[in-house]
Structure 1
Amino acid sequence: MRLIPLLAALVLSAHTATAATQCGGSFNGFVKGLKREAIANGHSKSTVNAFFANVKKDPKTLKADRSQGVFQMPFIDFSRRLISKNRIDVGKSKAKTYSSTFDRIERNYGVSRGVLLAFWAFETDYGAFQGDFNTLNSLVTLSHDCRRPELFRPQVFAALELYENGDFSPTKTTGAWAGEIGMVQMLPKDILENGVDGDGDGKVRLKTSPQDALMSGGNMLKQLGWRAGEPWLQEVSVPKNLDWSKSGLNHSMKASEWARMGVKPRQGKLPNLQASLLLPQGRKGPAFLAYPNFRVYFEWNKSFVYVTTAAYFATRLEGAKSYVAGNPDPAFNGNQMKSLQKKLKAHGHDVGKVDGILGAKTRAAVQKEQIRLGLPADAWPTAQLMNKL
């Protein structure tokens, strides 16, 4: 499910340069290069040879990496697909079963239980489907591929370190196509840096121990900047005459300022925090205030629709009402979105890759053009915008 693995934004630029010069070419030659680097870094030759003995290029991994069309879905469709009554019921049951673990997480890391329950549900359906890709094959394949080697090459050496510690098998360890392991899907480097023995057996077993997986996930979120005891997302109602140009993650103001503009919470009170007004499908659809913790989600996944859905589901697991869907303008399909992105690029906007996904850069460009053309600047593309462009 993850679009980009954990800690992608934290990879050092030096690693990027190194990986970019060492990807591609013969796969066997590439593996020999990895082995030479591992030995140069102090790993014994016999350990390195044993670790890489059976590694293979995995075409299925590359196919999965190129096939992430699910992220083209708009928020309402995506969230309804991922959030079911059964997932909510199971989540509430898991919250009771592991109540003492969640209490420890909240004490030690300040991460609310709904947040981890939502990740647990979306990543592996509460541990039921953890992926059957050979982890080492996937990591080496993605390191060899020149699309994002800087993300994956360091993970190969982290897996080698886990292997030396007795916590990784080159032939038996499996997980997601992008190399994540366990119930909340963590990469080898993340396990080394943030793994926690939650059940007290002396080992960090993220595939078989919910306590280990949840505690490790909580520790990671804290290290990524999670602020203890603060909310992350709150559904609100908005007046029809709001200045829509102030919406979006590129803008923020105190929640009290939003309140003076007529923004009201559907439940509870507005906290005394900076907040961005989030309109996943424009001014006619659901509306949320996103607080500082919401931005931490983007260290877990770069997809706007996934992050918003995961954050919203976390609030549902803690008692929030189902959002008011409203009646948003029709969503563009993938080809329409690509056409829009090309037009935006022609107007000088940086939308990143033309991929048919309404990501942060495309949303920002849409909003700028809406302002320029005198349209409601809610960052949601419409046929009217396309015609004016």
Structure 2
Amino acid sequence: MTLQRSFSLLLAGILLLVHQPVQASTAQDFDACLSHLRTKALDAGHAHDTLNQVLSSVTFNQRIVELDRSQAEFTETFLQYLDRRVSVDRVEKGRQLLREHRVLLQRIADEYGVRPEYIIAFWGMETNFGTYFGKTPVFDAVVTLACDGRRGEFFTNQFFSALRILEEGHIDMEQMKGSWAGAMGHTQFMPSTFLSYAVDYDGNGRKDLWNSLPDAFASAANYLSAMGWQDGRRWGREVILPRGFDYSQADIERSQPLLHWRKLGVRQVDGRLVPDLDFSATIVLPQGHRGPAFIVYDNFHLIMRWNRSLHYALAVGYMADRVAGMGQLHAKRPADSNEGRLSRGEVLELQQRLAALGLYDAEATGRIGAQTRNAVRQFQQMVKVPADAYPTHALLEQLRQRQQDVTVELSRVDP
């Protein structure tokens, strides 16, 4: 086995040890936590009867703890993700549902300023148009995570919010099911989001995100509107970057006036320069300089407040465009588009090697964040390749080779 291979396996093994889930709490610990939650809930004004109903049936679910503590290994590239989440079948289903619910969605759009295709896109992305809400009892989810302690305060507040939803009569406890983290209904709202933004749009006295599409659609629109959604503005669009473009300017954290990108020669896919409008815009390259390029606006950043994943936000915007009748992506697929992203073990190795070069000074976690991307960009600039901050297998191999060359040179130095 080569030294390089041994190093990679060692790093992957360390990562697995670091992220092993903790053992389930003891029954006594869970009972003590339930007693504590009961006391806090009573102090917050919740009813004895509701607490008795909920806490007598709630169970600690170790699998929920494992899901919360694990760091899922996302090995899909952006294009692979898009193919799966915005498939031809899902787009056609979205268009069918848009036609079916057009009158309702347009009325909601007129009231909240969020166009119908966006509501359809969120609906499709969250629950595949209401075909899967999740099967976990919401109280099992939020109480388990409140008692686990890692995010205890957050999920204690979710527990109180879920109690309020039950006390206000919006849903029966037996029907109150959702994701392992407690997200609920067609729009997968957390309990606190439900309390702040859910709407009784059908006027039956209940805010029912499980069984009422008017309530679910209006609640999604209300949430986006309250965050500052700008009606009449797009989320963004695919663009063509000019030859010689400085890829270091493509950064989700770096916005410029739209006129700046126009002056650089950034074009829409129809060949026209991006419009000369007075608002800020950002260039993003979700699969590096060889993949599609997008220019995104303020509404895109609001989508990322719904879900922090760049891939998710781009998929919502693209799905909305496709449902509205627009075509597929313009960019040609790179030859290696089916090659997966770096694994978590490989990202950990990448971070370790960047740190050895003095480019990365944060904790090596195996997850790609802003600091990792910045370090990757610096290394790309060092080796004079496009500085798109996108880590690839080829880049990792360059890092390995560079450090191997240094080791060989050092071994030749006389003691």
TM-score, with normalisation over the residues of structure 2?
0.81
Q: Deviations for 1:36-60, whole angstroms, at most 9, x for unmatched residues?
A: 1011112233332233221111123
Larger Rg: 2
- Taking the aligned partners of 2:354 and 2:308, their CA distance within structure 1 comes to 21
Provide the residue aligned with 1:215 in structure 2.
Answer: 218
- Taking the aligned partners of 1:151 and 1:303, their CA distance within structure 2 comes to 20
Against the structure 1 CA distance between its residues 67 and 151, is the aligned structure 2 distance closer, same or farther, given a 3 Å change threshold?
same
Asked whether the 8 Å contact 2:239–2:293 carries over to 1, the reply is yes
SS of the residue 2:209 aligns to: coil
Provide the residue aligned with 1:301 in structure 2.
Answer: 307
Q: Following superposition of structure 1 onto structure 2, how do residues 323-338 of structure 1 map, counting pairs within 5 Å?
A: 323=329, 324-327=331-334, 331-338=341-348
TM-score, with normalisation over the residues of structure 1?
0.86
Provide the residue aligned with 2:295 in structure 1.
Answer: 289
- Taking the aligned partners of 1:84 and 1:36, their CA distance within structure 2 comes to 49
Provide the residue aligned with 1:312 in structure 2.
Answer: 318
| TM-aligned CA deviation for residue 338 of structure 1 | 2.5
Provide the residue aligned with 1:136 in structure 2.
Answer: 139
Provide the residue aligned with 1:118 in structure 2.
Answer: 121
Provide the residue aligned with 2:353 in structure 1.
Answer: 343
SS of the residue 2:239 aligns to: strand
Provide the residue aligned with 2:365 in structure 1.
Answer: 354
Q: Choose 65-74 or 253-262, whichever is displaced more.
A: 65-74
SS of the residue 1:80 aligns to: helix
Q: Choose 367-376 or 208-217, whichever is displaced more.
A: 367-376
Against the structure 1 CA distance between its residues 102 and 76, is the aligned structure 2 distance closer, same or farther, given a 3 Å change threshold?
same
- Taking the aligned partners of 1:367 and 1:355, their CA distance within structure 2 comes to 17
Asked whether the 8 Å contact 2:197–2:219 carries over to 1, the reply is yes
Against the structure 1 CA distance between its residues 327 and 27, is the aligned structure 2 distance closer, same or farther, given a 3 Å change threshold?
same
Asked whether the 8 Å contact 1:101–1:215 carries over to 2, the reply is no
1:144 partner amino acid = C
Provide the aligned C-alpha RMSD in A.
2.5
- Taking the aligned partners of 1:352 and 1:231, their CA distance within structure 2 comes to 37
Against the structure 1 CA distance between its residues 176 and 249, is the aligned structure 2 distance closer, same or farther, given a 3 Å change threshold?
same
Unpaired runs of 5+ in structure 1? 1-22
Provide the residue aligned with 2:61 in structure 1.
Answer: 58
Q: Choose 237-246 or 250-259, whichever is displaced more.
A: 250-259
Against the structure 1 CA distance between its residues 150 and 225, is the aligned structure 2 distance closer, same or farther, given a 3 Å change threshold?
farther
Q: Deviations for 1:170-214, whole angstroms, at most 9, x for unmatched residues?
A: 444111111011111111111111111222323211111111111
Against the structure 1 CA distance between its residues 134 and 350, is the aligned structure 2 distance closer, same or farther, given a 3 Å change threshold?
farther
Asked whether the 8 Å contact 1:238–1:262 carries over to 2, the reply is yes
- Taking the aligned partners of 2:307 and 2:73, their CA distance within structure 1 comes to 14
Provide the residue aligned with 1:19 in structure 2.
Answer: none
Query: What is the identity percentage for the equivalent residue pairs of Structure 1 and Structure 2?
Result: 32
- Taking the aligned partners of 2:240 and 2:170, their CA distance within structure 1 comes to 49
Q: Following superposition of structure 1 onto structure 2, how do residues 1-389 of structure 1 map, counting pairs within 5 Å?
A: 26-66=29-69, 69=72, 71-267=74-270, 270-271=274-275, 272=277, 273-323=279-329, 324-327=331-334, 331-345=341-355, 347=358, 349=360, 354-356=365-367, 358-382=368-392, 383-384=394-395, 386-387=399-400, 388=402
Asked whether the 8 Å contact 2:290–2:334 carries over to 1, the reply is yes
Asked whether the 8 Å contact 1:51–1:163 carries over to 2, the reply is no
| TM-aligned CA deviation for residue 372 of structure 1 | 4.8
